């Protein structure tokens, strides 16, 4: 069987896999970004217990590994009375894990906003909320965006682990096709290329575009 025949025969299943991977990645990205914002800002909160809470979350999720967390959420959490179906468990685990890494990134980006901006906002008597939302965060977003892009590629790669709890993503499809045809190089090789295309020719250009748009809106020449 030539590789072209292999592709024609299995293209629909690979396509289904890509769709599930994309769904997992988008849902996990939304969750990770939300967690990163909340935890990252809490780490800078003026109230110490809030800082500790966010710090514990970040250390706990960065200190254990994603696969361990995924299995824990899927196999152990039901014993404690919280049952998630495999699709939900998948993106929740990926989102929570990458959110912890993102929190450090948010913290770094907020701290990287020049001091003068904080002082100017204070001098103009802006309320702390207004200062954060209108002055600091927009600049922090511009500073943190490239690193956030790298995080999103990590996240896309991380979603491949959900195949291990039988979510039918691209990785899972590749494994199934390998199991039924024994054409390992074709099955896994095709999946490798598809992940590569998603990361390098979809995700990366999208983030670059976002960076350029933002730079224009901030009045900087990129």
Partner 1 sequence: MIDWRWDFTLEILPRLAIATGQTLLAALLGYAIALVLGLLLAVARRTPWRAANAAIRELVEMVRSTPLVLQVFFVFYVGPQFGIRLSPWTAGMIAIGVHYASYLAEVYRGAIDSVPKGQWEAAKSLNIGPWRTWTGIVLPQAVSPAVPGLGNYAVGILKDTPILSVIGVAELMHTANAIGAESYRYLEPFTLVGLIFLLLSLPAAAAARFIERRVRARLGVIS
Contacts for 208 with CB less than 8 Å, ≥ 6 apart: 149
Q: How many residues does the chain have?
A: 222
Question: In degrees rounded to 5, what are phi and psi of residue 44?
Answer: -105, 10
Member of 46, 49, 63, 219 binding partner 1 (CB under 8 A)? 63
Tokens of 19: 């769709």
79 binds partner 1 (CB under 8 A): yes
Crossing angle of the two packed helices 204-217 and 137-158, in degrees rounded to 10:
180
| Choices 35-43, 47-55, 167-175, 211-219; region in contact with partner 1 by CB under 8 A | 167-175
Tokens of 149: 């892009």
Member of 6, 71, 104, 214 binding partner 1 (CB under 8 A)? 71
Residue 66: closest CA among 109, 32, 23: 32
Residues 36-55 that bind partner 1 (CB under 8 A): none
- Closest CB 80 distance from partner 1, rounded Å: 6
Geometric angle at alpha carbon 172, from 171 and 178, rounded to 5°: 90
d(Cα 29, Cα 221) in Å, to the nearest integer? 28
x-or-dash string of contact with partner 1, 114-153, rule CB under 8 A: ---------------------------------------x
75 binds partner 1 (CB under 8 A): yes
Residue 100 or 135 with smaller CB distance to partner 1:
100
* Site residues, partner 1 (CB under 8 A): 59-60, 62-69, 71-72, 75-76, 79-81, 153, 157-161, 163-164, 171, 174-175, 178, 182-185, 188-189, 191-192, 195-196, 199-200
């Amino acid at each position: 069987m030539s590789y072209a025949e292999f592709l024609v025969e299995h293209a629909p299943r690979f396509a289904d896999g890509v769709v599930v991977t994309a769904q997992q990645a988008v849902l996990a990205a939304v969750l990770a970004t939300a967690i990163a914002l909340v935890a990252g800002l809490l780490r800078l909160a003026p109230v110490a217990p809030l800082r500790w809470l966010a710090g514990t979350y970040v250390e706990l999720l960065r200190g254990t590994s994603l696969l361990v967390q995924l299995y824990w959420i899927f196999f152990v959490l039901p014993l404690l009375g919280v049952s998630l179906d495999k699709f939900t468990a998948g993106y929740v685990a990926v989102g929570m894990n990458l959110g912890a890494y993102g929190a450090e990134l948010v913290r770094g980006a907020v701290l990287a906003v020049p001091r003068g901006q904080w002082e100017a906002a204070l001098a103009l008597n802006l309320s702390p909320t207004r200062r954060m939302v209108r002055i600091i965060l927009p600049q922090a977003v511009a500073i943190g965006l490239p690193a956030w892009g790298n995080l999103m590629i990590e996240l896309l790669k991380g979603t491949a682990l959900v195949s291990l709890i039988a979510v039918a993503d691209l990785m899972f499809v590749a494994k199934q096709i390998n199991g039924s045809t024994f054409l390992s190089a074709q099955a896994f090789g095709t999946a490798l290329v598809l992940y590569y295309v998603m990361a390098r020719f979809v995700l990366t250009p999208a983030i670059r575009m976002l960076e350029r748009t933002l730079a224009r809106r901030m009045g900087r020449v990129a």
